[in-house]
Amino acid sequence: MKTEIGVDKTSEPTTEREDVSSRVDLAVALGEVSMANPVMPASGCFGPELAHLLPLEQLGAVVTKTVFAVERAGNPAHRLTETAFGMLNSVGIPSPGSERFRNGLLRQYQAGSGNVVVSVGGLFTQEYYTIAEDLADEDIAALEVNVSCPNLEHGGLAIGTSPQGVADVVQGIRGITDLPLFVKLTPTVSSIGEIAKAAEDAGATAVTVSNSFSGLAVNIYDRASALGSGAGGYTGPAVKPLALKLVHDAAQAVDIPVIGCGGISTAEDVIEFLIAGATAVQIGTATFTRPTAMSEIIADLEPLCHRLNVSKISELIGTLDTPTPSRNLS
């Protein structure tokens, strides 16, 4: 039997929102980007067309779907399939191109939210530079540089699998714009800390940890992938422990903020990521079945902080009590 996508059955979500005499400060900062709370959507998971369900101004920031310099159609159907504890997607990042984005969807985001973070991608290193130039003068809070895109310069491997590849992209964009840069990392690496450090040294303001995990679903009746393009990105509650570990490893390796992403569906999940080292979080899969999930989570954060005896949510960041390995003296 399948579990509802985005709902973590292992933890009991906060249901009470008691009245309190003192307010909790939910504010966090990602470099110069000040946020009223640490919650934002993951790229591509929530847009202005859903603002009637969740006013975008409630969020700490909004993150757009990844935009490329040129128009892209995306992958063939089927693009999404549910699994027991999450979902696989292979949307293929369709994009209107930078010009149509700037004159259309970007204006809708700007009309509904104060902090707009534009996710940018590229199939070639130069494409990142082009889209950065196109957006350099726009009124946006930051660019999120998605280095998990397949790099056609190197046989389709994600740019983010190489520290030097990440450095080249970030350094090039940093030379074009002074906008804050959040670099979204792939989990498919041997050392997330090494990649995060490369992004920091190249000029990143923060790193987002992480993008989806590679996965496969099989249709046993036609012996083919359930997705039209084969494998896809796996997201949902099942990846939360993996993402938490990556966040902790990245936070130990860098001095810039880490944005946690992966399997978050409750306020308790958010707090776990902050304790592990994240400064802010992104929520994706949970919004597919609960479009109001982020609003509910934000409402639950304050009473939860009261129960944890903190007056500022930022007090929780990086407070994980990590046991010191014992030495075997025998």
Question: Given 45, 149, 261, 305, which residue is catalytic?
Answer: 149
149 is catalytic: yes
| 315 CB-near residues (< 8 Å, 6+ apart) | none
Cis-peptide into 214, omega within 30 deg = no
* Longest distance between any two alpha carbons in the chain, whole Å: 69
Q: Is there a contact between 192 and 166 (Cβ–Cβ < 8 Å)?
A: no
Round to the nearest angstrom and report the end-to-end CA distance of the chain. Answer: 49
| 6 CB-near residues (< 8 Å, 6+ apart) | 86, 236, 237, 265, 285, 286, 287, 288, 289, 290, 293
Q: Which amino acid is at 204?
A: A
Neighbours of 21 (CB within 10 A): 5
- Tell me which residues are annotated as active site: 149
